[in-house]
Structure 1
Amino acid sequence: MIEVKGVTKKFGKLVAVDDVSLTVGPGEVYGFIGPNGAGKSTTMKVLACLLTPDSGTALVDGFDVTKDGDKIRRILGYMPDVLGVYDDLTVEEYLHFFASAFGLPRKNRKGTIAGVLELTDLTEKKQSMVDSLSRGMKQRLGIARVLVHDPKVLLLDEPASGLDPLARIEMRELLTELARMGKALIVSSHILSELGEMATSIGIIERGKLLFSGSIEDAYRKMGVGDRVRVKIEEPDEMLIPVCAAIKNDARISSAEIQNSSLVIEFAPGQKSHHFLIELLIAKNIRIASFTPETPRLEDAFMSLTKGQVQ
């Protein structure tokens, strides 16, 4: 659906995007991660046919961004990080305007707009003035706008920016639903925990270079992170210190530390069997209150994979 090979984009001497390659298929959510100025927005603008790459190729559903711009625009929805709205229109009028701009036949507009309003949970706001909407509702309206022509591909630049926790959850659920519909999504965000919960794959970019592209699990493997568990024991806190020291000596354990009256233990990469740890604790007459697996954080992968790799 989206195929980028060796794309480079320069602005004078500044290399904004440097030999970037990535692929995104139907039903996939590609989380695009990087600091401000890393090249995320520039890459999206190339795919949206707003910028021409200096080298490399970028295909959207088989169409070349340098030759087939009109065809790509019919199947692509692009939401920039700063979304302009017409404040003197109602929500419904705003969507009618863009449906007309996308060339939807007049007879189909009413039904199409009703559908995207329902999908984005804005039906009850259709007669509200755009300038009366909250930030979260304006972001959802931005999603509705890029959906009126039913695109196969969505490029969403910081769609959760500035949203409160509830609005971020609602946005995540909406994007997950769009992926279930078979659309290919590239979503950039600084809120890495949100991407970790909905992305099927990620790309980590810094100073124009794509440092990693693949599944989140592959990112964890590349950074050498093993499985992690939190063990709560039914013993006095002073018992944690010798137990922690003993566990650290096992070659199957990467690290062990005490946090909030619990042991947080990271297994060596590739170590999938955890039974030995339970047996080790029982052998030391330690009573286990709980044994809870913990998922590595996407923030950890980002910090590990970007550290010192781009100068």
Structure 2
Amino acid sequence: MNVHTSGSDCIELRRVYRYFGKTKAVHDISFSVARGHVFGYIGPNGAGKTTSMRILATLDLPSYGDAFVDGFSVINDPELVRRRLGFMPDSFGTYRDVNCEEYLDFFARAYGLIGRERTRRLRWVLEFTGTIGMKDKPIRGLSKGMKQRLCLGRALVHDPAVMILDEPAAGLDPRARIQLRKMIRELADRGKTILISSHILTELAEMCDAVGIIEQGQLLATGSVDEIQQQRNQTRELTVRILDRAADAAAQLVAAQQESDTGAAPSHLLGEPIVDGELLRFGFAGDVRDQSELVVWLVERGFAVAEVASHRKSLEDVFLQVTEGLVQ
């Protein structure tokens, strides 16, 4: 047994490579996820997300490097990893003619749960996933959303420390996605570490503590959305609504920025303002205090500032800027 300690990190990939012939499915991937955190793994189809997840789930071996789940190596201690891991693939097999409780009971027994412990875990999983009301219903009669809940329950039945969810919201209606998102966040609040991939980036932004962006097998960026923006010097867009004289305000801002004595000019403006009716739009690298100083500067010069709004780039914006749309 080879125990690898890495502080509070419950998932760790350390310089993982996976080649299929000449195809570099995963190339020198390293990242970690702290206990109780949700990490969003995003990238175009064929980027290497599923391959990375399969390696963590001990369903594939890296060509080089190693990965650790709850401190145990996927190479040296796969059985110990499996006891600590719940894996929900993007597609899963079900037995059409068994009911929900029988399905979950089969996997509970496969994990070695017996007696009262198995009964208790089955009851909890059915209640948590909202399937207890249809525990006697054959799987063939379940909707897509309920099947996804059942698959999540299967991954949870042995109470793993780590959850790996590959596109769990694919094909779900909006209500089912919202409910799934709440369940994932509640699991993290209970201390479970979750690695999740999805193409629904707005949902990942809401539930994840950090994200990793992968393309052509290489990890391009990791961290929170704000951290990735800072790493790449990305800024907010500021919109200022000025009544009547927006073009004059823009001209004065440009003139002030071009003066040799820039101390009197508003700071943190990037580029020239774009005039759109009563609106001025421009890049802005400052914080809220800098934003208020800009408003004071405009008001002191007689401009009627009616509204100020800032727009921070979304996860979708960041994804489009970091990736190039390349596939292997």
TM-score by length of 2: 0.85
After superposition, residues 94-133 of structure 1 pair within 5 angstroms as 94-133=103-142
What SS is found at the alignment partner of 2:112?
coil
Residue equivalent to 2:69:
60
What SS is found at the alignment partner of 1:59?
strand
Q: CA deviation at 1:241?
A: 4.3
Q: CA deviation at 1:242?
A: 4.2
| Amino acid corresponding to residue 101 of structure 1 in structure 2 | A
Residue 206 of structure 2 corresponds to residue 189 of structure 1 = no
Distance, in Å, in 2 between the alignment partners of 1:170 and 1:245 is: 50
Match of 1:253 among 260, 269, 286: 269
Distance, in Å, in 2 between the alignment partners of 1:106 and 1:90 is: 20
Q: CA deviation at 1:270?
A: 6.8
After superposition, residues 98-247 of structure 1 pair within 5 angstroms as 98-233=107-242, 235=243, 239-244=245-250, 246-247=252-253
User: What's the Cα RMSD here?
Assistant: 2.5
Distance 1:244 1:156, change over 3 A: farther
| Amino acid corresponding to residue 223 of structure 2 in structure 1 | G
Distance 1:9 1:241, change over 3 A: same
Residue equivalent to 1:302:
319
State the Cα deviation string for residues 90-110 of structure 1 (Å, max 9, x = none). Answer: 222211111112111133222
Q: CA deviation at 1:161?
A: 1.1
Residue equivalent to 1:72:
81
Q: Which runs of 5+ in 2 are unaligned?
A: 1-9, 258-265
TM-score by length of 1: 0.89
Distance, in Å, in 1 between the alignment partners of 2:227 and 2:101 is: 43
Residue equivalent to 2:260:
none
Distance, in Å, in 2 between the alignment partners of 1:213 and 1:296 is: 16
What SS is found at the alignment partner of 1:86?
coil
Distance, in Å, in 2 between the alignment partners of 1:269 and 1:309 is: 33
Q: CA deviation at 1:240?
A: 4.0
Q: Which stretch of structure 1 is more off in the superposition, 139-148 or 124-133?
A: 124-133
State the Cα deviation string for residues 163-216 of structure 1 (Å, max 9, x = none). Answer: 222222111111111111111111011111111111111111000011112222
Distance, in Å, in 2 between the alignment partners of 1:60 and 1:8 is: 17
Q: Which stretch of structure 1 is more off in the superposition, 284-293 or 57-66?
A: 284-293
What SS is found at the alignment partner of 1:58?
strand
Checking the alignment, whether the CA contact within 8 Å between 1:27 and 1:181 is kept in structure 2 is yes
Distance, in Å, in 1 between the alignment partners of 2:144 and 2:253 is: 49
Distance 1:131 1:308, change over 3 A: closer
Residue equivalent to 1:47:
56
Checking the alignment, whether the CA contact within 8 Å between 1:49 and 1:65 is kept in structure 2 is yes
Distance 1:247 1:50, change over 3 A: farther
Which structure's CA Rg is the greater one? 2
Match of 2:26 among 17, 35, 58: 17
Distance, in Å, in 2 between the alignment partners of 1:260 and 1:133 is: 53
Distance, in Å, in 1 between the alignment partners of 2:148 and 2:276 is: 38
Distance 1:3 1:129, change over 3 A: same
Distance 1:169 1:259, change over 3 A: farther
Distance 1:288 1:141, change over 3 A: farther
